[in-house]
């Protein structure tokens, strides 16, 4: 039996009300729908959010048991350099795994999930982690600016200790030119909404779900929750009527609280459905983009004992309003800011050194003394404990999933930042270890000595001259 062994999600802290967008670009004649969008901070992108969702999904699961990682996104930073391999390294997965990027369509989230289920069924060693994440750029004033939100979801597929078993699927595929972005372009192009809604979205999702019901001789009444993206609120309900479903069966699309998260949307909604599910529930999930994939799962008794994930519910409750449209443009580099002389200092990553130190930089792995148990970061050959001093008696020790407290901190108004001041300081880790980190997702007034923090994987810089996106771990206040 194959199915879902764990789940997780990540939604950025910032939310921007649609009225904030309208106050800046309403002169163009676009009118805002109700709600707000989740907005990635200036140091977040599709990869950093995928790592965050993966951390939430894995929890205390041993990383050595993971046999593959599939990343689904339409906003990958690298066209040539496997993005999924970078995410796997940041999650401290073992090198003897299978990694793959699923791109080019918002249907890639369900496509990656199907591929993972097939791999697990084929006895691939270990579970397969599926991370779906999107952080899409939209032109200021475009309809997509009100529609798109940022976020990520993760599903661990396996054969043991399942919280939901995989029961079947049905897919349809079309070269449907609703939205497209050619190589090298920053923004998507879109055809008219009526065409997308009536000829694509309203047809393909219903066709995939109807095909699934017919293939497995099921009735729509047997499904507890029906999950599919809500690009158009009215048409979302029309599809349900066409299928003969009751409105109570529909999972919340999160369109008014998070926005359309692209490749992550159906998987994030699936995570939200699993959070509320009970043993025996049947959950049907469908994606949309150049056709549709429809899958259905049966929830097992293990769902009752499954806990410890922030998933969607807790992320929704931990938020801060981004009330400045200009700041949003700066975060997206849609309005380049003058950061002064310090912002003009070039950064060039020595790629060979990055590869050698990938465990320390990307996975935040240090060392722990086998003799006395003292942890250190970065990796050291000599134990720092004055009562020990053992040499070359170290084992790898991962700090990325450790909590800590602030030992000292500084607010730097002179450092180059689009979100000043830059905040950094020393963190004492629970269980031992101390190191200097930049701080994220906090205001200077809220930081204090002794404040509990956790680690978060973030984009540190983008060197446009060499096309390098640099990543590292930062400290942030414990999120509810």
Across the range 131-156, mean pLDDT stands at 96
For residue 407, the domain's CATH number is: 2.40.50
Please check whether residues 323 and 426 belong to one and the same domain.
Answer: no
Which of 268, 302, 331 terminates a domain? The answer is 331
Average pLDDT over all residues of the chain: 94
Q: What confidence tens digit (pLDDT) does each residue in 338-392 have?
A: 887 777 777 778 899 999 999 999 999 999 999 999 999 999 999 999 999 999 9
Which of 305, 331, 357 terminates a domain? The answer is 331
* Residue 9, pLDDT score: 98
Please check whether residues 408 and 326 belong to one and the same domain.
Answer: no
* Residue 121, pLDDT score: 85
* Residue 464, pLDDT score: 84
Please check whether residues 326 and 463 belong to one and the same domain.
Answer: no
Query: Can you say how many angstroms the Cα of residue 263 is from the centroid of all Cα atoms in its chain?
Result: 10
How many domains does the chain contain in total? 2
Q: How sure is the predictor about 307, in pLDDT bands with cuts at 50, 70 and 90?
A: confident
Q: What confidence tens digit (pLDDT) does each residue in 87-128 have?
A: 999 999 999 999 999 999 999 999 999 999 999 887 666 899
What range does the domain containing 423 cover? 341-348+402-477
Task: Evaluate whether 202 touches 259 at the Cβ level (below 8 Å).
Answer: no
C-alpha distances in Å from residue 202, one per residue of 197, 229, 236, 239: 6, 11, 8, 6
Phi, psi of 290 (to 5 degrees): 55, 45
Q: What confidence tens digit (pLDDT) does each residue in 222-263 have?
A: 999 999 999 998 999 999 999 999 999 999 999 999 999 999
Q: How sure is the predictor about 23, in pLDDT bands with cuts at 50, 70 and 90?
A: very high
Q: Is residue 376 part of a domain?
A: no
Which of 392, 169, 372, 131 is closest to 268 using CA atoms?
Answer: 131
Residue 238, classified by CB atoms within 10 Å of its CB into exposed (0-12), middle (13-18) or buried (19+), is middle
Please check whether residues 24 and 150 belong to one and the same domain.
Answer: yes
Please check whether residues 187 and 322 belong to one and the same domain.
Answer: yes
Please check whether residues 123 and 243 belong to one and the same domain.
Answer: yes
Please check whether residues 285 and 414 belong to one and the same domain.
Answer: no
Please check whether residues 323 and 407 belong to one and the same domain.
Answer: no
Q: Is residue 353 part of a domain?
A: no
Please check whether residues 26 and 121 belong to one and the same domain.
Answer: yes
Q: Is residue 385 part of a domain?
A: no
* Residue 124, pLDDT score: 60
Please check whether residues 256 and 140 belong to one and the same domain.
Answer: yes
Number of Cβ within 10 Å of residue 120's Cβ equals 23
Pairwise CA distance, residues 78 & 384, whole Å = 39
Q: What confidence tens digit (pLDDT) does each residue in 193-223 have?
A: 999 999 999 999 999 999 999 999 999 999 9
* Residue 338, pLDDT score: 81
* Residue 123, pLDDT score: 65
Q: Is residue 360 part of a domain?
A: no
Query: Can you say how many angstroms the Cα of residue 386 is from the centroid of all Cα atoms in its chain?
Result: 42
According to DSSP, residue 92 is labeled: T
Pairwise CA distance, residues 381 & 366, whole Å = 11
Q: Is residue 364 part of a domain?
A: no
Which residues are paired to 428 by β-bridges? 405, 434
Q: Is residue 373 part of a domain?
A: no
* Residue 125, pLDDT score: 66
Percent of the chain with pLDDT over 70: 99
pTM: 0.96
Concatenating the DSSP letter of every residue in 401-443 gives: T--EEEEEEEEESSS--SSSSEEEEEEEETTS-EEEEEB-S--
For residue 306, the domain's CATH number is: 3.40.47.10
Residue listed under structure tokens 């008696």: 393
Please check whether residues 140 and 278 belong to one and the same domain.
Answer: yes
List strands edge to edge, sheet with 320-321: 36-39, 14-17, 320-321
Residue listed under structure tokens 């106050």: 23
Q: Is residue 31 part of a domain?
A: yes
pLDDT at 462 over 70: yes
Q: What confidence tens digit (pLDDT) does each residue in 47-92 have?
A: 999 999 999 999 999 999 999 999 999 999 999 999 999 999 999 9
Q: What confidence tens digit (pLDDT) does each residue in 381-429 have?
A: 999 999 999 999 999 999 999 999 999 999 999 998 999 999 999 999 9
Q: Is residue 375 part of a domain?
A: no
Q: What confidence tens digit (pLDDT) does each residue in 443-460 have?
A: 999 999 999 999 999 999
Which of 302, 331, 360 terminates a domain? The answer is 331
Please check whether residues 326 and 422 belong to one and the same domain.
Answer: no
């Amino acid at each position: 039996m194959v199915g879902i062994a764990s789940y997780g999600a990540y939604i950025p802290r910032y939310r921007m009300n649609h009225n904030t967008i309208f106050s800046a670009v309403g002169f163009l004649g676009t009118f805002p729908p109700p709600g707000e969008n989740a907005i990635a901070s200036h140091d977040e992108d599709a990869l950093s959010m995928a790592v965050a969702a993966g951390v939430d999904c894995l929890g205390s699961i041993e990383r050595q048991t993971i046999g593959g990682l599939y990343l689904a996104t339409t906003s990958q930073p690298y066209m040539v350099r496997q993005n999924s391999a970078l995410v796997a390294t940041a999650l401290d997965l073992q090198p003897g795994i299978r990694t793959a990027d699923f791109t080019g369509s918002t249907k890639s989230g369900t496509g990656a999930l199907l591929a993972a289920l097939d791999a697990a069924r084929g006895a691939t060693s270990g579970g397969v982690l599926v991370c779906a994440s999107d952080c899409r750029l939209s032109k200021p004033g475009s309809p997509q600016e009100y529609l798109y939100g940022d976020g990520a979801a993760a599903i661990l597929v396996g054969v043991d200790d399942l919280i939901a078993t995989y029961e079947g699927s049905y897919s349809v595929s079309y070269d449907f030119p609703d939205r497209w972005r050619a190589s090298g372009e920053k923004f998507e192009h879109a055809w008219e909404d009526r065409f997308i809604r009536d000829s694509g979205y309203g047809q393909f999702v219903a066709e995939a779900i109807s095909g699934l019901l017919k293939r497995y001789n099921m009735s729509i009444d047997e499904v507890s929750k029906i999950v599919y993206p809500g690009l158009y609120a009215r048409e979302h309900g029309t599809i349900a009527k066409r299928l003969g479903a009751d409105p109570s069966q529909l999972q919340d699309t999160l369109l008014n609280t998070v926005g359309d998260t692209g490749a992550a949307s159906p998987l994030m909604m699936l995570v939200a459905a699993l959070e509320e599910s009970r043993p025996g529930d049947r959950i049907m999930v469908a994606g949309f983009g150049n056709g549709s994939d429809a899958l259905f799962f049966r929830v097992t008794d293990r769902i009752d004992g499954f806990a410890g994930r922030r998933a969607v519910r807790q992320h929704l409750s931990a938020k801060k309003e981004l009330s400045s449209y200009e700041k949003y443009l700066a975060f997206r580099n849609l309005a380049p800011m003058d950061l002064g002389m310090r912002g003009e200092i070039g950064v060039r990553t020595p790629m060979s050194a990055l590869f050698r130190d990938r465990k320390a930089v990307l996975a935040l792995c240090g060392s722990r003394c086998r003799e006395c148990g003292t942890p250190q970061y970065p990796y050291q050959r000599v134990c720092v404990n004055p009562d020990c001093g053992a040499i070359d008696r170290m084992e790898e020790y991962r700090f990325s999933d450790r909590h800590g407290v602030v030992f000292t901190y500084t607010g730097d108004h002179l450092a180059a930042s689009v979100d000043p001041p830059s905040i950094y300081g020393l963190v004492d880790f629970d269980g031992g270890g101390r190191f200097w980190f930049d701080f994220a997702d906090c205001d200077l007034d809220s930081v204090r000595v002794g404040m509990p923090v956790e680690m978060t994987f973030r984009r540190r810089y983008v060197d446009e001259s060499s096309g390098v996106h640099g990543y590292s771990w930062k400290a942030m206040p414990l999120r509810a």
